[in-house]
A and B are shown apart, each in its own frame.
Chain A
């Protein structure tokens, strides 16, 4: 491989073929990038519209927000509100969360065209052709940057169009640009440091989590605490500090661009110091023996890392949910907030119950994402041809698929239970009824699972019957989520909204429990899943 590098260095930039690689990469991402950009822009614009509709006059909004503002848990999640203007309230949820999603998009795009390609050996194929050594990284960085810019422009235009303040919308664009471009750089570096796709994921997503936590600590620190400075150490903190629809600090774009330039430059320096296929960091030696005896045990072994991560994340979610629940009680006298929460999913019981029901439905969407991730691993196993090696042993396809389904069912239940038990402990300690709170929340969490199973079964059906469309399971989940979030707001027909399994869930805790929809969802899930496994049994592998 070093032999390859030499002529590249001699020929100058080593960028030969960047254009063709970029075109190839853009073609492969022609759905992912535009759909994500559109989705993120829609997230801002539509949730702003929804807020305008909920709070016809500014005063009621400010009243509702006053107690919210004081709550550190919300500040930790969404960042401090930039001002008390209606625009600011309307975008409170979208500035930071949207920026994080944009960072994720940048990460996905850059990783896909660097380390993933290299691990699959496709870069070697390209590298052997007339492609410069730096071409792949350059193309990936350009495409990631392009995806961020596209999203930012679309969002600024759309937010202005729905009536948000133009100057603030530009600041929102700056905020997202800073966060998105930072993760183009972070991922470019991570892809050079590690020698695997997973390692890249761990570094890049780990950095995202650390950046989020650092700014959360900074943002929630007291006014005269030195810890406030922490927000300035995190690119996500910068995004919040731009303060769109408040102070509109455009100049922070300089910080973002400087970091972006530094990271991208570092990635290219690291690229020079390593061989194709390897990373700068050495990979560690492992065990030479394995206790795994069955295909199911192998599936569990391979999913272990993912599961630990999700359990930790859902435990943290539980802490956040449980600690916010206490302050929800304090604005029980605000009918606007009650309306808002009702519109978002909960429909009965005390305000705390409505709050929990709403948040648990969101958590269930997350658990469904975990289920999709675990079920679609089968597709990865097949496309990497590792499945062939497994199926050449006495392992049957059905048993192998069932192993994945079982682990997805168990894992999604476990994360839901972990989050509600933690939330129940935190909130229960607050209100002095740990046992009762935990029990009610566990019941509520269990009642969401049939919807998760339907999503899981959709993924299984896609993989079993039309494996090349396995990725559509994610699209289905997003559609379900959007139908639930915006279906009523956009006055969509009822049958369309009813396509989402999540709309059939009872509003628990607090609401009335109805078995029929849950049984119905379970039957649908069983039928779809069985059809998927049957299709897998009959079709060609590979």
Chain B
């Protein structure tokens, strides 16, 4: 399997702020790779280095086999970028911007342009200043998808889209992957990543915390159990159980997390207090995410 993006020990400092502190990232050709992290984790900095907008202080980054800082012209013919907060020229229409960006990249695929405009339900005759945030993002997405590229770098591209358009976005990205393309999708919207990504890298404070497929990562995490009990339970009793954590007791309600191996034991104990309501949620990526932060912050502090 070849790599579309290979980043090793990448470092970048802005003044006194360390944005990237030895980041590793490996995106295989032909996959949708989720790039997860909270605001300020270094996602955008990484993408900006990959785009040759800023220069890394240390480490290496290889993009489509080339050097992002030096091979700008050749690399940029093969990729398209959609920023999280799309700024348009106030007096150019969306259609004009789509044409301009796609042409600068090498040409407009007329069929794709028309179909993307229709699927994203975008009016291309409106001026840049009159588009909402979501519509500005659609303009950038249509522009990116109207050119013939191998790699999409998407930096939180759906933050302004409504759920219907997010679904369109997911379909479009999957089709792009099925056609042989590679996608790096940075996001802090976990459900989005969960639904489309083949593999995920989680970063925090400029370093890679975890990489793998969702199944790889899921076993690491814990199920959340919420129950309403007939008779109150002593929080200490629950905390004392193997594999149980984050115990919260409020009156007759209790919530805690538990590793999948210890779920049975927990339910037995709760049962002795008379369960009147019970929910058990498998770990969502969100919790996985929080879990990763917790582990690393305890590890580092």
Contact = CB atoms under 8 A, between A and B. Distances in A.
Interface string B48-86: 100111110000000000000000111011011101011
A9 interface: no
B103 interface: yes
Nearest to B126: A285
A198 B96 contact: no
A121 B88 CA distance: 13
Given A298-B100, A392-B81, A198 B48 contact: no
Contacts of A293: 103-104
A225 interface: no
Nearest to A304: B91
A287 B125 contact: yes
Question: Which of B55, B85, B106, B130 is packed against the most chain A CB atoms within 10 Å?
Answer: B130
Contacts of B153: 392
A388 interface: yes
- Main secondary structure on A side of the interface with B: loop
Contacts of B125: 285-288
Contacts of A262: none
Question: Which of B51, B124, B129 is packed against the most chain A CB atoms within 10 Å?
Answer: B129
A542 B73 CA distance: 19
B93 interface: yes
B124 A389 contact: no
Contact of B99 (A195, A292, A392): A292
A213 interface: no
A395 B77 CA distance: 10
A479 interface: no
Interface string A286-326: 11111011110010011001000000000000000000000
A286 B73 contact: no
Interface in B94-129: 94-97, 99-101, 103-106, 124-127, 129
A2 interface: no
A392 B85 CA distance: 15
Nearest to B44: A542
Nearest to B74: A394
Interface in A498-542: 540-542
Contacts of A385: 83, 85, 87
B103 A392 contact: no
Given A198-B90, A394-B77, A388 B124 contact: no
Interface in A185-237: 195-198
B269 interface: no
A542 B53 CA distance: 8
Question: Which of A195, A286, A541 is packed against the most chain B CB atoms within 10 Å?
Answer: A286
A11 interface: no
B270 interface: no
Contacts of A272: none
Contacts of B99: 289-290, 292
Nearest to A297: B100
B51 A283 contact: no
B200 interface: no
Nearest to B97: A290
A288 to B, nearest CB: 3
Given A119-B90, A198-B90, A294-B104, A396 B53 contact: no
Interface residues of A toward B: which range? 35 or more
Interface in A377-423: 384-386, 388-396
B140 interface: yes
B53 A389 contact: no
Nearest to B124: A288
A198 B91 contact: yes
Nearest to B86: A389
A539 to B, nearest CB: 8
Nearest to B144: A392
B105 A196 contact: no
Contacts of A289: 95-96, 99
B101 A389 contact: yes
B54 A542 contact: yes
Contact of B54 (A286, A392, A541): A541
B92 interface: yes
Given A196-B129, A197-B90, A392-B81, A290 B54 contact: no
A405 B211 CA distance: 46
A389 B140 contact: yes
A384 B87 contact: yes
A301 B104 CA distance: 15
A16 interface: no
A27 interface: no
Interface in B2-59: 48, 51-55
Contacts of A290: 92-93, 95-97, 99-100
Contacts of B130: 195, 278, 283
A390 B53 CA distance: 11
Given A278-B130, A389-B101, A394-B104, A292 B91 contact: no
Interface of B: 48, 51-55, 72-74, 76-77, 79-81, 83, 85-97, 99-101, 103-106, 124-127, 129-130, 133, 140, 153
14 contacts: A196-B129, A285-B125, A286-B127, A290-B96, A292-B99, A292-B100, A294-B104, A302-B92, A389-B101, A392-B53, A394-B72, A394-B76, A395-B104, A542-B48
Given A285-B127, A388-B83, 10 more contacts: A283-B130, A284-B127, A386-B89, A388-B81, A392-B76, A392-B81, A394-B74, A394-B106, A395-B76, A540-B55
**Nearest 4 interchain pairs by C-beta:** A288-B95, A290-B96, A392-B81, A540-B54
